[in-house]
Amino acid sequence: MTDIRQITKDEAYDAVAPDDFPAMMDVERYGARSTAFDKIISATHDHFWDPLDEKYIDFSESFDMENEMIMPEEFIVELRLPCFQKLSEKEKIRFANESARWMLSAILHGEQGALNLSASLCHILRDPGAQEYAANQTREEARHVTAFSRYVQARWGKPLPVGQTLGDLLTDIVNAPEVYKKIVGMQMLVEGLAMGAFASLYTRSNDPLLVKLTQLVMTDEAFHHKFGKIWADRTIPKLSKEEQEIIEDWAAHCFQTLLFNLVNPEQKKVLYPQFGLDWETVQAEMIEAVTDDDRREQMKEGTNIFRVLIKTLLKAGIITDRTKAFYATYVDMDELRNEGDRMVGDDIAEEGIKYLKTINFSTNTDALSNVSAAE
């Protein structure tokens, strides 16, 4: 792999071609381990949890799907549209919960993408420490797939198919030979979206089981985001102008694609026929109802997934004066810059880690190292 394809600039993230296994048996490689990831590797034990063990989470907890919405009504944009006003209250609840099913299915597909991508990093990262971290993340993403599969099964039986926009993006990232696409794409773009989504689910869901699940997942995700942040700290300042623009333009393209397509009615068209609606009608009304002004207002919310994503890219140095005007259409960039480095969900994750320590290490928490998820 050429330097322009890796765009890493630091030996800790050095990579080889996926099929170059002989490079992994280089005798000099084994003793050239970076210490950059040791802290987040060691912290793995602090946030261990098992989705198949009821002492961590019990998926038999019930929820009244017929009479209560998993997410509050204001969270479901379609319910404000004229074509949805003909639905009965029971049908509105059912649609809201089917919409939640679609969202949780998308999260499940995203976790599967993160699992495969983490595994693919094990094939290309030369540094033993980076490789061990990627192996750890693969294990953690696997338990997320199990956990969200169990949750979807408990509430709906099975997930819905992945939307084309998300499916195409995940496929592009997982199969990409470029290291920067894997790390920026998954550890920053997708993980940034995930932390915003999980924070929203944690703070606003009416289902206690989903609240518990999202906090457990966030105890892992905060560390996954850190892996990408280490890459950015060690890479972005050393980029050439051409390399900076390659990464910056690709991130902006992904952001725009997600913003306008991730939750639009065409992506969710599997939902509408059972309610006597077609996606074209819903989309036409959505275009009238949701303007850039609405998007700007929504992005003032700290847990808004796109606000979290912009902050992630900004703090990583991937948004510069060259592209900030594009993002400033939706958020106050100066306000974001002045917010500090802590990300939405860090506090939730840290409280979750404290909870896990009481399970994993009984009451002997004082003897444990106090590792911050956002450190």
Set out the domains of the chain in order of their start, with CATH numbers.
Answer: 9-240+347-360 (1.20.1260.10)
pLDDT at 116: 95
Note the pLDDT tens digit of each residue in 214-237.
999 999 988 887 888 888 889 999
Note the pLDDT tens digit of each residue in 49-85.
999 999 999 999 999 999 999 999 999 999 999 999 9
| Alpha carbons within 13 A on the beta-carbon side of 9 | 15
Q: What is the dihedral of CA 199, 201, 206, 207, to 10 degrees?
A: -110
Question: Which candidate, 109, 161, 159, places its Cα nearest to that of 270?
Answer: 161
pLDDT band at 2 (very low <50, low <70, confident <90, very high): very low
Note the pLDDT tens digit of each residue in 33-43.
999 999 999 98
Exposed/middle/buried for 30, CB within 10 Å: 0-12, 13-18, 19+?
A: exposed
Q: Is the pLDDT of residue 197 over 70?
A: yes
Give the mean model confidence (pLDDT) for residues 170-193: 86
Q: Which residue has the higher pLDDT, 132 or 373?
A: 132
Q: Is the pLDDT of residue 366 over 60?
A: no
125: phi then psi, degrees, rounded to nearest 5: -75, 125
Q: Which residues pair with 125 in a beta bridge?
A: 15
Structure tokens at 317: 């140095």
Q: Sort residue 283 into left (φ over 0), alpha (ψ -120 to 50) or beta.
A: alpha
Buried/exposed code over 275-293 (b: 16+ C-beta within 10 A; e: otherwise) = bebebeebbebbeeebeee
The two most distant CA atoms of the chain are separated, in Å, by 70
Report d(CA 242, CA 244) in Å as an integer.
5
Give the mean model confidence (pLDDT) for residues 177-203: 86
Mean pLDDT over each residue of the chain, to the nearest integer: 88
Q: Is the pLDDT of residue 114 over 80?
A: yes
pLDDT at 367: 38
Q: Is the pLDDT of residue 24 over 60?
A: yes
Q: Is the pLDDT of residue 374 over 60?
A: no
| Alpha carbons within 13 A on the beta-carbon side of 98 | 17
Report d(CA 47, CA 331) in Å as an integer.
33
Structure tokens at 108: 């499940």
Q: Which residues pair with 15 in a beta bridge?
A: 125
pLDDT at 5: 63
Q: Which residue has the tokens 């939706």?
A: 330
pLDDT at 294: 76
Q: Which residue has the higher pLDDT, 185 or 97?
A: 97
| Alpha carbons within 13 A on the beta-carbon side of 337 | 11
Q: Is the pLDDT of residue 29 over 60?
A: yes
> Which has the minimum average pLDDT: 42-51, 285-294, 357-366?
357-366
Q: Which residue has the higher pLDDT, 245 or 292?
A: 245
Give the mean model confidence (pLDDT) for residues 123-145: 95
Report d(CA 99, CA 208) in Å as an integer.
18
Report d(CA 140, CA 315) in Å as an integer.
25
Give the mean model confidence (pLDDT) for residues 122-127: 92
Q: Which residue has the higher pLDDT, 275 or 254?
A: 275
Q: Is the pLDDT of residue 370 over 70?
A: no
- Three-class DSSP category at 259: helix
Note the pLDDT tens digit of each residue in 291-336.
777 777 877 777 788 888 888 899 889 999 999 998 998 888 988 8
| C-beta separation of 196 from 187 below 8 A | no
Predicted TM-score of the model (pTM): 0.90
